[in-house]
Amino acid sequence: MSKLWGGCFTEATSSSLAELNCSLPVDSRLFAEDIDGSKAYAQALSKAGIITDLECQNILTGIEVVRYEWIEGLIKFLESDEDVHTVNERRLTELIGDAGQKLHTGRSRNDQVVTDMKLWMRKGIRETLSEFEKTISAGISLAEKYKQVIMPGYTHLQRAQAVLFPHWVMSHMTALKEDAKRFLDLKKRSNILPLGSGAIAGNPLNIDREFLAEKLGFDGVTSNSMHAVGDRDFVIDFIYCASMTSTHLSRLSEDLILYATKEFNFVRISDKFSTGSSLMPQKRNPDSLELVRGISGIIFGNLSGIMMTVKGTPSTYNKDLQYDKKFLFDSFDQLKKVLDITAGVLSTLSVNGEVMEAALSSDMLATDWAYYLVRKGVPFRTAHHTIGQVVASGEKKQVKITDLSLPDLRNICDKFDEDLFTHASDFRKNIEQYKATGGTSSVTVKKQLVEMKEFLRELVL
């Protein structure tokens, strides 16, 4: 079969251009979506009277044979095959004859490929959200398993305030929740049908685009044919969402890599997700998390790549956009891997609760002591300055602030009393103060877990 184009050409295509022009190694992944779109379009052609009912039925039957051949690995590529669309139309025509050549009537590969990609993206988002559910569920289980553990919370990598370990876990799961919501929003926003836009000007054959949208499960149709065929914003959005997710997974990985060091010894990464050294027998390296951290750079690179590709193209379709699928599919594949690895790490992680609690230092009580003075009627700025003086006094005497005597403290502020040591110096009691929504008290953390479980139920619907 000859190419889908070239009637006015008098010279054969350069072999180097033919090789560069062929997108089959990448877009063959769209074979099922291309077949689904073709079936709906055949029915629209029949509805418009462009092909007969019999021709339509032959196309529907024949294209399902093509689908079977793809699934079973029976499809053979020819030199004339440029892309998945060419293969499907060529093979269909071989099976059913001239009716196969009528399928492309009024349709361009410009609106065909963008339709295929939107169909694929629906499936890609669904599979991605399934990975989110698995990863967040693993985080919830980890938080519940160690719900009583207290740990140092850090800002600037310096000890800040005591928090519940599950509060730290849920900080990362909340980031993933927001990422999942981005994908859910994209799924809805991108579900608009471009098919029926033709190459640029639209379709002149009375094709019922609303009928096509209904057949293919779209929520509506695009409003401008020129925009529709050149639009790759939904691809950029997908890769952006993937990039944000991988960024958050990278930050979680970095925390766990630090916490797994001998210096911290807060957690132990399972042997299933660790590797060793070829030289040093004692090493247990967190390679799983380092790879998750590294892959975030690959996905961000894909985002840069697609944006640089799109920014340089004039309006409507240009062949540069052939590379959109490479960026899209790679981002999807990489994100699926890192979500799966993260779920595995979290579900097998061991937490050294005693070590975490032993890492709490008295200086981390400083903020709670400031709140103690606030409750005694001291303005916060004054209280903040006063506790700074307490910390300085402890440093000067080379003792913990909890080892300073009450007279020492009263020399700084007469509001200090015995209840400072019985109430404000207990980490666990202090944690329970933070009952405002989103805080680290056991009550509010439990609420976070309940809300996250409710979100997961929505996610899998």
pLDDT in tens, 309-331: 999 899 999 988 999 999 999 99
Domain presence at residue 2: no
Mean pLDDT across 273-290: 91
Share of the chain above pLDDT 90, in %: 88
Q: Please give the pLDDT value at position 12.
A: 66
Residue 206: partners with Cβ closer than 8 Å, 6 or more residues away: 48, 49
Q: Please give the pLDDT value at position 5.
A: 46
pLDDT tens digit string along 63-80? 999 999 999 999 999 988
Output the six-digit token pair for 458. Answer: 């929505």
Above 70 in pLDDT, residue 84?
yes
CA angle, 299 as apex, 122 and 134 as ends, to 5°? 55
Output the six-digit token pair for 366. Answer: 């400083």
Domain presence at residue 414: yes
Domain with 178 in it: 110-358
Domain presence at residue 7: no
52, 81, 105 — which closes off a domain? 105
Q: Residue 66 maps to which CATH number? A: 1.10.275.10
Nearest to 37 by CA among 106, 99, 122, 117: 117
Domain presence at residue 403: yes
Output the six-digit token pair for 320. Answer: 């540069």
Q: Judge if 411 and 341 occupy the same domain.
A: no
Above 70 in pLDDT, residue 8?
no
Q: Which helix (DSSP H) or strand (DSSP E) does residue 88 occupy?
A: helix 84-96
361 noted as active-site residue: no
156 noted as active-site residue: yes
Q: Judge if 346 and 369 occupy the same domain.
A: no
Contact predicate 83/90, CB 8 Å: no
Q: Please give the pLDDT value at position 460.
A: 75
Above 80 in pLDDT, residue 1?
no
> Which is the catalytic residue, given 277, 315, 361, 405?
277
Above 80 in pLDDT, residue 4?
no
358, 376, 399 — which closes off a domain? 358
Above 70 in pLDDT, residue 6?
no
Above 90 in pLDDT, residue 19?
no
Q: Judge if 292 and 345 occupy the same domain.
A: yes
pLDDT tens digit string along 129-177? 999 999 999 999 999 999 999 999 999 999 999 999 999 999 999 999 9
Nearest to 21 by CA among 37, 36, 6: 6
Q: Please give the pLDDT value at position 175.
A: 98
Please give the residue that has the higher pLDDT: either 99 or 460: 99
**Which residues partner with 220 through β-bridges?**
192
> Which is the catalytic residue, given 2, 15, 16, 156?
156
Domain presence at residue 426: yes
Backbone angles phi, psi at 57, to 5 degrees: -65, -40
Q: Please give the pLDDT value at position 357.
A: 96
Rounded-to-10 torsion of CA 15, 21, 25, 26: 170
Above 50 in pLDDT, residue 221?
yes
Q: Residue 237 maps to which CATH number? A: 1.20.200.10
pLDDT tens digit string along 351-408? 999 999 999 999 999 999 999 999 999 999 999 999 999 999 999 999 999 999 999 9
Above 70 in pLDDT, residue 17?
no
Mean pLDDT across 2-26: 65
pLDDT tens digit string along 29-58? 999 999 999 999 999 999 999 999 999 999
Domain presence at residue 4: no
pTM of the model: 0.92
50, 74, 105 — which closes off a domain? 105
Q: pLDDT band at 277, cuts 50/70/90?
A: confident
Dist. CA 354–CA 340, nearest whole Å: 29
Q: Residue 446 maps to which CATH number? A: 1.10.40.30
Q: Judge if 292 and 209 occupy the same domain.
A: yes
Above 60 in pLDDT, residue 60?
yes
Domain presence at residue 23: yes
Q: Judge if 135 and 228 occupy the same domain.
A: yes
Tally the domains of the chain: 3
Q: Judge if 291 and 306 occupy the same domain.
A: yes
Mean pLDDT across 443-450: 98
Q: Judge if 234 and 203 occupy the same domain.
A: yes
Domain presence at residue 434: yes
Q: Compute how many other C-beta atoms are within 10 angstroms of the C-beta atom of residue 373.
A: 22
Q: Judge if 214 and 289 occupy the same domain.
A: yes
Backbone angles phi, psi at 196, to 5 degrees: 100, 5
